[in-house]
Amino acid sequence: MSPLILETSSFENEGVIPRKFGYKEGNFSPALKFQNIPEGTKSLVLIMDDPDAMGAVGKVWVHWVVWNIHPNDEFQENSIPSHCLEGKTDFGDNGYGGPAPPDKEHTYLFKLYALSSEIDAKIDSSKNEIEELMKDKILETAILKGRFAP
pLDDT digits (tens, 9 = 90+) for 48-101: 999 999 999 999 999 999 999 999 999 999 999 999 999 999 999 999 999 999
Q: List the domain range (segments joined by +) for residue 131.
A: 5-148
**Domain total for the chain?**
1
CATH number of the domain enclosing 78: 3.90.280.10
Task: Please enumerate in sequence order all residues whose Cβ is within 8 A of that of 141, keeping only pairs 6 or more positions apart, or say none.
Answer: 4, 111, 112, 113, 114
Q: What percent of the chain has pLDDT over 70?
A: 99
pTM value is: 0.96
Provide mean pLDDT across the span 6-20.
97
Question: DSSP labels for 63-104?
Answer: EEEEEEE-TT-EEPTT---TT-EE-B-TTSSBS------SSS
